[in-house]
Amino acid sequence: MLVNNKKNQYRKLLHVLLRERAALALCLTAGMILLLGGTRVSDNSGPLVIKYDWTGCADVVVTGDSRTGNGVSPGQMKQSLQGLRIVNYAFGGNGYSCEYLTAIEKVLDPHSPNKMIILGISPQSLTKVMATRNSFIQARNSYSYCSVTIARSFNKLLRFTEPLKFNELFGGVFVPPDRRRKYHRSFPDGWASAYYVPSLRDFSGYLRDAVNIFNNNPVSPRIVADLLSRVALWHQRGIKAYAFRPPTIREMVEFENSHGGFEEHKFVVAFEKAGGRWLNVDQLRYDSLDGCHLSRTGAIQFSRDLALMITVEEKITPEPLELATRPLSDAY
């Protein structure tokens, strides 16, 4: 008897909802919002103030500008460097100012027995302009206890409520063939991956932009000297420093060498004399996003290779070694 009464109540409620079109429309709308919001790629990193706020949380800190920020995935590196806390502390348009070098040390756990800093050395990051105008400074200027708290507490909600464009649905399936759209995904460990739909193969535009970067703004001897001095200080403190040149395309390498005034061989000699270790990277091996940064697949492969180079230097046996050649489709 009780069961029949409940069924009758449910039927009456359903009839009311069907009669009340506004209520039904509201329910359908709410369902569609939840469904469409769920198709959006999540951004778990939050604003840059969260990254800027990192303190004493890592054994290994990867640094540099957006070329490193896009190109190095700590998650992929951990497959070979197991047991180490690795973060990507790179910022867009960044330069190796003294302030940034000090902030890098802050991210390291002072009690870690395996303190390591991995420097992504792009010629742009050694120029005065990049050292004074970049997203690291932007994050510093925006930083406050309130801004970090809000970002950490409500980032997912704010991301969910952002306007969703039709072309953004399902990873760009509906992007018209005559248009190109860039997609970003940020991870809690600091990596920011990116890809185009459809893929970009004409890199001439970014090469033209590079002309403006080095216009009256070559590699600064003062910034290089400050960086090398800090590397020597880290060496004295038992902090290992590695460095590499983030991979890009041949045209960009040649342009940076000729117009940016970057003499890689001399830098490497001075860096190793200061106590650092230079990692030789095949500049042309990895898939490029735009002629400067690595694509998502290129970054995954490079991150695995970078970690393996460090295991060789540190005489660490990756466990298991075959993880470095696991299909890219299995990652993330």
48-107 per-position pLDDT tens digit:
778 888 999 999 999 999 999 999 999 999 999 999 999 999 999 999 999 999 999 999
Q: Residue 160 burial (CB < 10 Å; 0-12/13-18/19+)?
A: middle
**CATH architecture observed for domain 48-330:** 3-Layer(aba) Sandwich (3.40)
Contact 317, 80 (CB under 8 A): no
Predicted local confidence at residue 162, as pLDDT = 57
pLDDT interval class at 142 (50, 70, 90): confident
Tell me how far apart the alpha carbons of residues 125 and 327 are, in angstroms, rounded to a whole number. Answer: 32
CA atoms within 13 A on the CB side of 61: 30
Flag whether the pTM goes above 0.85: no
Share of the chain above pLDDT 70, in %: 70
Burial of 124 (0-12, 13-18, 19+ CB in 10 A): buried
DSSP-based three-state secondary structure for 240: strand
Contact, 116 vs 240, CB < 8 A?
Answer: yes
Please give the order of strands across the beta sheet that includes 60-63.
Answer: 86-88, 60-63, 116-120, 240-244, 277-279
Question: How confident is the model at residue 43, as a pLDDT?
Answer: 43
> What is the arithmetic mean of pLDDT over 270-277?
98
Look up residue 269 and give its two tokens. Answer: 């000699």
d(CA 298, CA 261): 27
